[in-house]
Amino acid sequence: MPDTLTDTAVDVAGLTVRFRSKRSSTTALDDVSLRVEPGAFISIVGPSGCGKSTLLKVIAGLVAPTTGSVSLLGEPVTGPMRTIGFAFQRAALLEWRGVRKNILLQAEMRGMNKARAGVRADALIELTGLSGFEEALPHELSGGMQQRVALCRALLHEPPVLLMDEPFGALDALTREQLNAELNRIWRETGTTILLVTHSIAEAVFLGTRVVVMSPRPGRLVRSLDVDLPAARDYAQVMTDPTFGTLTRQIRELLGSAESH
C-alpha cells in the first residue's frame, strides 16, 4: 500500500536532462519541477519528443539528471528504484508462460515470498477481470487482456508509485475506454500514486486528478490543471460533464500555444 508517512510521493526539482554524443547535445527536459502527493493520478501530455517518457525514466532512476533532483517518498533517486511499478506501451509478456505465471515473473525477479505473491496475483487477476484465463498464453489473449496482465505484473509487489508510459496507445478506441474505466477503479481501490504519459487529451482528463501539460523539446512544464471531477468516473457521465469539455479545450489551446513558440 502507499506510504502515508510523507506528504510527497514524487518530488522533481529543477530537472534538466541533456543527452550528449561526440557530435551533438540534445536537451530533452529543461528546468522541470513537479510535486505529486500520495494517491494522486497525474496525467502528462505534450507533443511527441517533448521528454514525457524521459521524465518517467528519471523518476524511475533509469536516466540520471544533468541538473536538478528527484525524490521518491522522501528518498533521493540515485539509481533504479525497485519499489516502483512500471507499465509500458507493449505488454512484453513471455509467450511460453500463462497469465498467472507471467504475473508471477515479477515475484521471481524480486525474490518475493511465493505464497504471498500467489495470493496477491490471484487477487489482482480477480480485480482486473482475468479470472478463468489464468493458464491462457499471450497469443490466446486480446491486446486489452494482455495489457491487463502487464498491469497486474506491475502491481504485484504493491508499489507506492506506478509509472505508465502510453500503456493503452496501441489499442482500439473501445478497448481503450474499457481499460481506462478499469484503471480508474483499480486506482481507487489500491490508492496507488500513478503518473501516466499519454497523447490522448480525453484519456488524460478522464483518468487524472491533475493534468500536466508540457512544451515541445526541450520539455518544460507549461501548466498544471486540476481535474475537478468525482473520483469514480463513468465515461458516459464524464464526457457530458461541462468540466470535461472545459478542460479538454484548455489543454488543446495550451498545446497549440506551446507548439507555436
CATH number of the domain to which 21 belongs: 3.40.50.300
Residues 79 and 200 in one domain: yes
Which residue in the block uniquely carries the three cell numbers 494482455?
Answer: 146
In a shared domain, residues 250 and 173: yes
Is 143 in the same domain as 164?
no
Give yes or no: residues 115 and 214 share one domain: no
- Nearest to 122, CA basis, from 100, 89, 107, 106: 100
Q: Which domain holds residue 133?
A: 89-158
Check whether residue 42 and residue 61 sit in a common domain: yes
Among 158, 180, 208, where does a domain finish? 158
Per residue in 179-233, pLDDT (tens digit) is 898 899 889 988 999 999 999 999 999 999 999 999 998 999 999 999 999 999 9
Q: What is the pLDDT of residues 90-113, one digit of tens each?
A: 778 889 999 999 999 989 888 888
Same domain membership, residue 196 and residue 124: no
CA–CA distances in Å: residue 119 to residues 77, 122, 146: 30, 5, 20
User: 208: how many CB neighbours lie within 10 A of its CB?
Assistant: 25
What's the pTM?
0.88
Claim to verify: residue 12 and residue 69 sit in the same structural domain:
yes
Residue 24, C-beta contacts closer than 8 angstroms, at least 6 positions apart:
none
Assess whether 164 and 257 both reside in one domain.
Answer: yes
Of the residues 158, 187, 210, which one is the last residue of a structural domain? 158
Structural domains of the chain, count: 2
What is the sign of the dihedral through the CA atoms of 177, 237, 245 and 32? negative
* Nearest-angstrom CA–CA distance, 146 and 139: 9
pLDDT digits (tens, 9 = 90+) for 224-234: 999 999 999 98
